[in-house]
Homo-oligomer: A and B are copies of this chain.
Amino acid sequence: MARTKEFDPDAALQAALDLFWRRGYEATSMADLVEGLGIARASLYATFGSKRELYLRALERYSEQTDPVLLAELSQPGPVLPAVRALVRRYAEASAEDGLKRGCFVTNTAVELAPHDPAAARRVEASLGHLETVLTAALVRAEAQGELPAGREPRALARMLMVLMQGMRVLGKATDGAARVRDAAEQALVLLD
């Protein structure tokens, strides 16, 4: 009926994710977003509602981009333990080489917003729950396939890896975190032998 949208809401959301990811919620102003997204302030509000809604949408998008990759990697047929190792190591590398010091968007949200924002807390919980579920399933399969000695506790192991991964993302934001993160990953993986 009328004029078509001139900007790509998807690209705008991605740009918002980049900004929030790098600076966090409070430290990113609407002025920053207007400039970074390259769209009119009014369009921004018309499309996303408010700063908080935009942040939550960005968080959702982050999970949508991240979660399927995890799942795919750990669901491939055949040996599963190598995939778990690769995942943990890749996480460590990503944390160690995080030049922009962005960390993990979910981790950042857990620290900055989750304690006083129920909606943010729910999304964080959803991401962590997914990671735990996928990791646990992978380790259960590893056990069934004889890759993992019987008697281990797949869920507890998965939780341990998950907690460690959160910590890696935190250390990656501090100086000199690289060697620590790599050492931590290798030590933890010993538990999978």
Contacts and interface: CB of A to CB of B under 8 A. Distances in A.
Quickly give the copy total for this chain: 2
B183 A156 contact: yes
Query: Main secondary structure on chain A at its contact with chain B?
Result: helix
A164 B22 CA distance: 23
Contacts of A22: 115
Interface string A143-157: 000000000010111
Given A26-B27, A112-B24, A115-B101, A160 B188 contact: yes
The range of chain A's interface size is 35 or more
A85 interface: no
Interface in A119-173: 121-122, 124-125, 128-129, 132, 153, 155-157, 159-160, 162-168, 170-171, 173
